[in-house]
Structure 1
């Protein structure tokens, strides 16, 4: 009766049960749960080694079998294999069954399927390891505290302070861990989190590497009823970030000091042209301050005049960026300040780009050159007066020569008139005598003698010559005076169409005394050459400087016996949208080692007092900077030099060089 009840209990049990005979090692019983779990019947298991079919590792099965045969109990979790080769995890309990005499008669095995739990635990371990790896890779530390501010768990990068390990901190408070250190900032933050608030704070600690900065974020842990059961915290070492921020702040301050210190005005804007920053110099020039301009569009504070329309430019940023030059201040504009004052500024604009070359804003750099322009105007005028002064003696000589023979011819005409008048009176008296009927043959002889006495025949033949010579002299003086007027008169500083052929002829005329004794002048001017938009008196200055230099180079060559008499050749021609003027001489030439210096300020090869070193510098400035042209030089020592000037027929910049 008891055996039947026991068998019925085994059959209804949820665990897989097996009984093995101690003497024969044959399985004598398996219940239905065993068959369902492993798929084997007792007959199938008795075909060989009882440990082989079901244990994934037969050695483990053999160990369990042998231990129970010795009368010992065994329990544990092992991996087993079902009939269809499915691997499962089983909790095994093995015991020896003894009779009343204490002899082992059979072996009992109870097997509980724990595969789901094992797989779940494995998944949890893998997730935990993944989370741990993720936390460690983040460089942060994640920790939990209980309601007494004791550490419950620590994951990730723990602080490196005096070798304290995370496991040492479990169950301890900050005060117990850091001991002498002031931990009040942590206690206060933790208490706020325990009161249900999210807390963010920063703190620092000194270790062997120096001062380390940390950023902590705390959140309360709530149970299902909303009660605070602890704290979860995330700590991050922000030392590098702090140093970077401090470095950035220092650089920002240095930049601000630099911007305040430099002598140029600086304005920065965003991509829409709204002002972000202006420095002190910019404030002084435009009359606005940083507080007033921030957020305003550049056009509201940076008012420049459009030289074509004479109106305030509506989009100065677009104008400056389009006229952007590679470097330096190549743009000149008239600025209207906040107070209405007009100033001349040199400016340039450029986009601000990030590392990916994306435009993130714009910068405008400018300087007030009003006084500089006034000084340049005075300098230009003084240079012109100096040039005229240097030519004055020659011009006086050029005027004196025709004036001399005009004077001589005038005196001759005066004397001739007196003689003719005397002869005319004598003839009138003779006429009266004839009229009165007193004519005699002696009267005719007297008239002839008087004519010879007064040299009437000579006078009549020389008067036309004297008049012609005088007219030629007057014309020559007139042309010279007109040339001087057109050369020296400042005129209007706005660029306007001008005849360069006429400018060349005028310059040659007034400089004639500089070259006529040493050189012949050959002129080859293109007929009907296009008018060039320029400031003509500045161009005259350039022509004069180069022609005088050519004459001086020829004189030096004559002194060194390179030639007996030189030649200066001036040519003009048009090509496309440009006009070219070349001035050549066969003088001494320019050595290769100094040809690159001829446009340098104050550079001269002349003796002290004979040259300022400013002539070619001014020529270069006028042609290249003020007229968007070019000036090139080719020279060979002992053979001569050629300067070639190229000017655009149309010039976008309406302003010339110096303004009065």
Structure 2
């Protein structure tokens, strides 16, 4: 090795190729020393020990650097890679000495080196006379072209009187994924809190609506009941006038009869009962919606409560009416003998709401007319479980999609019309939170039936026993 080579080549320590002083040259030099044999022997022993320690130190340094999770590159002033540690090769997916002598720009997405120059300016502020070391994040790429988020610091290093730089970097893909997951969790939490607030608000609104609805209903009922008595009295008065018309002043009865025709009294007597009854039916429907909304939005506790599944389904059908009334009719086949079961009421509400809304959307997607669309909601009592079936005559589920129905974020809806979370959350609520089962039966062009099996006893985390398993068949 010439003197010039020694001053320009960085030592290969990181990759384990450090140039330890040549043992043979030193031994040859020692043999030529004109000294007693014992002095020469001690000198040779010192040289050998020095060589061993240097080799041991180099090996220890290599072991330490290879155990560091960060990738380390030694870059010369021209931007060429002079050395690297094991982690650098693994992160960049390099084999052997593939990195040596290549430009450090290969690890940056921007091949024009503008990223590297900005990085140097940010991490090393030499113009102020103060070296500043600062981590920064940027997108990098491996030798196979795969990109990844990288955290990197650059610091100056001086090897053999030659200005070099240490690039210390790490792959932060896992951290970025965790940050995305955390952000999603926070968004879900905010959405849950918003829904909870809306639930409380809905309960308050329901109470406020319920009070005037009550006296409107009572007044309409009073008018409807009173109309019969008034109608009978009016009929009796007409009969009396007719019988005694000869004793009345001239033209009195004729004038009265003309006034009756002009006011269309016959039509009023016929239509007023219908109008009041329709108003009663309407206000009763409002009262039912208000009650259903109040029960649906009632905040549930952390513990399960004994629940009437039939009542839950009836409330959900009322609440979701606007989703299905334009596409289908709903038939309720609710077994009155089913037992009350332990549930998280709000979560079960969400399950049935998702399934009914999906059924309505499937019918709409099938292009059926409102009078042709039909949804059936049925409950059946089994030995130790309740089976809930929600059927539609919609499009059915394609074969290639059946295995993915309960997967998170899977949806066949257009962008902006579905998140793919509904059935995934439904599956989690039924199986994990309630220890039940959910499955479906489908036929293309004819429709789909979703079945939910809920245990009559709280056995969260356990599968339904053999009797419940038979319910599927």
Q: TM-score, normalised by structure 1?
A: 0.35
More RCO (CA 8 Å, sep 6+): 2
More helix by share: 2
Larger radius of gyration: 1
More strand by share: 1
